[in-house]
Structure 1
């Protein structure tokens, strides 16, 4: 058994690596940060609100007292701010070995009435942030000849539903940007992949979770028959962050209870 445990650890263990997770004060980002820390990684939480971010860091540190948990506040939509924060962290603390681009937002309105300012906010938060943070971190990874980037897409990367057309467009773009990252950076030793969650019980989906009609529809529409739980995304993230995925590149892994493959 000891030999088997060592083999699994060599493939999936993250000890000695540092992971930055954007948008990790709550929801999916916080769950992924917790999972990476439990797998041995030092974790860096990110968000725009320093106070809220520190509260999230302190709570996670209390839960996992042996883990290294840091907070790095910056606005993922501001290119220069992102670049400065990443460069300073790399110089003063150490390398970022794993990047999880999780920051995102949602706005639900019929497309014909969709406010232009909300559309622009979606573009900046859901797409531009992946470019800004991905580029800033990758420049350091490329010099080291190794690195893992995991972008958080959505089931809407492949599917659409009424009222969220701009969100669907942004998540489709993240899927294609992931392919582009892999195409440009694989030769430098980076693996760039994505996770596409289905419908999960998160603060972003709070209105839908609270809607009994929508939940009933979702349970019928999803072959697994239920909402996903955020901890069910951790395994996919650990896999794509570890040596187990050393030849997986440009791939989008759907974690959706089979909703994207069924009629």
Structure 2
């Protein structure tokens, strides 16, 4: 706790934020820098990474910032980034899986990842899965530590007969399915790590934040990105939540996610599928 502000302090904490160059990730970087965190910022555009680094250092001089470049649509790049992190970083207190592919401007356009998987499923679910699993040794050695998965209130069940949405494609539906997969895995990860000092939680940060992804999809923003940052920062920093594990939050409220996320058989089926896809 910061004795001057009364806010939870991240001083001495190392926090990795994926998708840190735009939208929510950008705001999180600025907010957490102001609280004294060491920031590891991921992006897929080196110029944008340089820009957010400069902004952070202007807003909070002396902040330690290190950047990691990777395209999360390529799982090989995700693994390479994780290897660089493990080689360079002595600790990792919080991993924020924030990077996302939204619906895009053309909801009928089905796109694929480098490995040939449906793009939203790959970036919004498989990439966080691969990154987190690779970084578990560092998270565990830094315990107590946290994994915060940025999900959405937009949720649709995974259809195991058409996981890659090869029929009647709709990008917004693909996005909603990817977020259900992310929440399902969050619950499984939390159970796996329960006795290792690492917690895993998911949240819907805010409804229709003013982000490039929302605008690209042709949707009307309802709130500023600052509103989504507040509940996310709370999950990252609040000491009262240190032992909170395996939960889904709608902003600040511990809430119920889609029914499928509580279906043990569906989660087991997703886990088996995921292992085969990332092998």
Same fold (TM over 0.5): yes
How far apart, CA to CA, are the structure 2 residues paired with 1:108 and 1:78? Answer: 19
- Equivalence for 2:121: 123
Which of 228, 231, 254 is the matching residue for 1:233? 228
1:81-124 CA-partner distances (Å, limit 9, x unpaired): 3334333334334212111101111235898x553638711111
Q: Please report the RMSD computed on the Cα atoms of aligned residues, expressed in angstroms.
A: 3.1
- Out of 189, 202, 210, which is 1:201 matched to? 210
- Equivalent residue runs for 1:76-87 within 5 Å: 76-87=72-83
Instruction: Please give the per-residue CA displacement for 1:198-242, whole angstroms capped at 9, x wherever unaligned.
Output: 21111111146xx6xx64xxxxxxxxxx81211122332222122
Match of 1:251 among 226, 247, 265: 247
Is the alpha carbon distance of 1:174 and 1:84 closer, same or farther for their aligned partners in structure 2, counting shifts above 3 Å? Answer: same
- Counterpart in 2 of 1:95? 91
Unaligned runs of 5+ in 1: 216-225
- Cα shift at 1:126: 0.8
Change (3 A) 1:4 1:124: closer
Aligned residue number for residue 105 of structure 1: 101
Q: 1:39 to 1:4 in 2, by over 3 A?
A: closer
Residue 5 of structure 1 deviates from its aligned partner by 4.0
Structure 2 partner of 1:51: 47
Between Structure 1 and Structure 2, the one with more helix by share is 1
2: CA distance, partners of 1:169 / 1:100:
20
Match of residue 184 from structure 2: 176
C-alpha displacement of 1:20: 0.6
Q: What's the CA shift for 1:80?
A: 4.1
Q: How many residues align?
A: 238
| Residue equivalent to 2:20 | 24
d(CA) in 2 for partners of 1:39, 1:158 = 36
Against the structure 1 CA distance between its residues 117 and 145, is the aligned structure 2 distance closer, same or farther, given a 3 Å change threshold? Answer: closer
Instruction: Map Cα deviations across residues 1-25 of structure 1 (whole Å, 9 max, x no partner).
Output: xx9947945xx21110011100111
Q: Is the 8 A contact 2:41 2:65 kept in 1?
A: yes
Q: Distance in 2 between matches of 1:145 and 1:105?
A: 30
Taking the TM superposition and a 5 Å limit, the aligned residue runs for 1:70-81 are 70-81=66-77
Residue number in structure 2 paired with 1:221: none
Decide whether the 8 Å contact of 2:204 with 2:251 is kept in 1.
yes
Alpha-carbon separation, structure 2, partners of 1:157 and 1:247: 26
Distance in structure 1 (CA, Å) of the matches to 2:73 and 2:101: 12
1:139 equivalent in structure 2: 137
